Structure 1
Amino acid sequence: MSLKAISAKDAASLDKDLMDIGGWSLDQLMELAGLSVSQAVWRIHPPRAGKKILVVCGPGNNGGDGLVAARHLAQYGYTPSVYYPKEGKNELYQRLKTQLHNLSIPFITDFPAALQSTDFLVDAIFGFSFGGPLRDPFGPIVSQIESTGVPVLSVDAPSSWDIQRGPPKEGPGSKFMPQALISLTAPKPCVQFYRGRHFIGGRFLTKSLTDKYGLDCPEYPGIDQILEIGVDAEGRL
């Protein structure tokens, strides 16, 4: 199964439509995105495979999705920790942090040490709005993730990848190929360069919006918020 991809410009427009026309708030969309990410972790790496999950968050909405995912993972019985080297300024992110503090989820500062001791990593650094190039402190962080033997799930796009053209030709991220990727709402064009397990998440689109953006609306099984799909997304961008 493959799904049509959506460009970064249309993805931003779709998010705006969801809030302006659809009645959704940013909090709701982030909650469902983070829930989808947590379900993908459960599917790929169940607790019996190792409960230590390191969630690496960027300063934007992708990082917010990671913060939400960490909360759900703790509720599932994992022992998540969060690396948040450059915090977002939105008040929403501070509330998400408070929720994690209330669950005693640690925010780590020694990333190399945490990377060596974790069982699984969630890359929630940059999503569809990333334009590159990587700026400090994220270049060294992506390089360390790229070279680790720890399995990685990237959220919406592998961090450092150009949303249209895929991995950078050189430097941090040029050889980054996470074991799994979860596309939120719809795949982005860079998925054509990806090889690994690929999931779609975001079970909230209406027919009017899928028709407007020329998207497919997959049939999610049961109560799942995710669906595993192929990686050859195509169609109108």
Structure 2
Amino acid sequence: MAMKTLSAKNAAALDKDLMSIGGFSLDQLMELAGLSVSQAVYRLKSPIGGRRILVVCGPGNNGGDGLVAARHLWHYGYKPVIYYPKPGKNELYGRLTTQLKNLKIPFTTDFAAALKEADQVVDAIFGFSFSGEVREPFSAIIEELQNTTVPVTSVDAPSSWNIEEGPPSSGPGSSFNPTALVSLTAPKPLTKWFRGRHFLGGRFLSPDIAHKYGLELPDYDGVDQIVELGSDGKKKL
């Protein structure tokens, strides 16, 4: 039996539980999510295979996950570049941005040029809470991501995809299927349309919270914050 997926409604409810009965702060959850993403990127291609990482961040928590991942990637020996056209207003995003600037990690306003120079891309634009129509500047960015030959790793959801219904039938993202996906906490229903390498990150759920949402999570190896899943949603051996 395939691993149970988590709807957008339940994903939001689970996050609230983590920050109430679970005792986590938003900062902690974002740090753990970004750490998981960074480990997936490393698993896909170490710095020896290509150091230049373009991290594309949206204005919400998904973008914050990308900012955290970029910091970890810098410490692993990569050379991240950040494209962050609409910075989030929460002071947390400001602190994450300051951390990157203190490491002299560059922020770019020229996405097309940065994409041409990149060995990998992290798509941290939209997460499980996305719905509706993609607007500029992200519609053009997603068009470029779906047409690039550069490997793309999406955070929790390929940006523009509906969490329940997968890729849009037309417009930006309709043919976007990234190289890799890092599902956070648990896979979402959209994974049935995904065809790349699939990782699960979120090694922080208590047994009680996992049981509440009917989640049977795979065992993580050693100190890994991610586990690779097969097409059946189970741990890949």
3-state SS of the aligned residue for 1:96? helix
Instruction: Find the counterpart in structure 2 of residue 94 from structure 1.
Output: 94
Q: CA deviation at 1:2?
A: 4.0
Question: Which amino acid counterpart does residue 66 of structure 1 have in structure 2?
Answer: G
CA deviation vs aligned residue, 1:62-115 (integer Å, no higher than 9, x gap): 000000000000000000010001111110000000000000000100000000
Instruction: Find the counterpart in structure 1 of residue 25 from structure 2.
Output: 25
Give distance in 1, aligned partners of 2:126 and 2:45. 22
Give distance in 2, aligned partners of 1:231 and 1:84. 32
* RMSD over equivalenced CA pairs, Å: 1.1
Q: CA deviation at 1:133?
A: 1.1
3-state SS of the aligned residue for 2:160? coil
Instruction: Find the counterpart in structure 1 of residue 206 from structure 2.
Output: 206
Q: CA deviation at 1:40?
A: 0.2
CA deviation vs aligned residue, 1:140-182 (integer Å, no higher than 9, x gap): 0100111011000000010000000000001110000101000
3-state SS of the aligned residue for 1:122? strand
Large movers: runs of 4+ above 6 Å: none
Q: Do structure 1's residue 156 and structure 2's residue 145 form an aligned pair?
A: no
Give distance in 1, aligned partners of 2:217 and 2:233. 13
Instruction: Find the counterpart in structure 2 of residue 194 from structure 1.
Output: 194
Q: CA deviation at 1:232?
A: 4.0
Give distance in 2, aligned partners of 1:86 and 1:144. 18
3-state SS of the aligned residue for 1:85? coil
Identity of aligned residues (%): 67
Contact map agreement 1:2 1:230 (CA 8 A) in 2: no
Q: CA deviation at 1:135?
A: 1.1
CA deviation vs aligned residue, 1:119-138 (integer Å, no higher than 9, x gap): 10000000000002101111
Q: Normalising to structure 1: TM-score of the pair?
A: 0.97
Give distance in 2, aligned partners of 1:231 and 1:140. 30
3-state SS of the aligned residue for 1:172? coil
Which aligned pairs between 1:1-237 and structure 2 lie closer than 5 A? Answer: 2-233=2-233
CA deviation vs aligned residue, 1:10-55 (integer Å, no higher than 9, x gap): 0000000000111000000000000000000000011111100000
Q: CA deviation at 1:231?
A: 3.6
Question: Which amino acid counterpart does residue 106 of structure 2 have in structure 1?
Answer: P
Give distance in 1, aligned partners of 2:89 and 2:233. 34
Q: CA deviation at 1:233?
A: 4.6
Contact map agreement 1:205 1:217 (CA 8 A) in 2: no
Q: CA deviation at 1:230?
A: 2.1
Q: Normalising to structure 2: TM-score of the pair?
A: 0.97
Give distance in 2, aligned partners of 1:141 and 1:132. 17
Give distance in 1, aligned partners of 2:45 and 2:65. 18
3-state SS of the aligned residue for 2:181? strand
Question: Which amino acid counterpart does residue 227 of structure 2 have in structure 1?
Answer: L
Contact map agreement 1:2 1:229 (CA 8 A) in 2: no
Contact map agreement 1:53 1:120 (CA 8 A) in 2: yes
Give distance in 1, aligned partners of 2:76 and 2:108. 21
Question: Which amino acid counterpart does residue 200 of structure 1 have in structure 2?
Answer: L
Give distance in 1, aligned partners of 2:215 and 2:189. 13
Structure 2 unmatched ranges of 5 or more: none
Question: Which amino acid counterpart does residue 72 of structure 1 have in structure 2?
Answer: H
3-state SS of the aligned residue for 1:33? helix
Q: CA deviation at 1:217?
A: 2.1
Give distance in 1, aligned partners of 2:201 and 2:130. 19
CA deviation vs aligned residue, 1:168-207 (integer Å, no higher than 9, x gap): 0011100001010000000000001100100000100011
3-state SS of the aligned residue for 1:101? helix
- What is the number of equivalent residue pairs in this alignment? 234
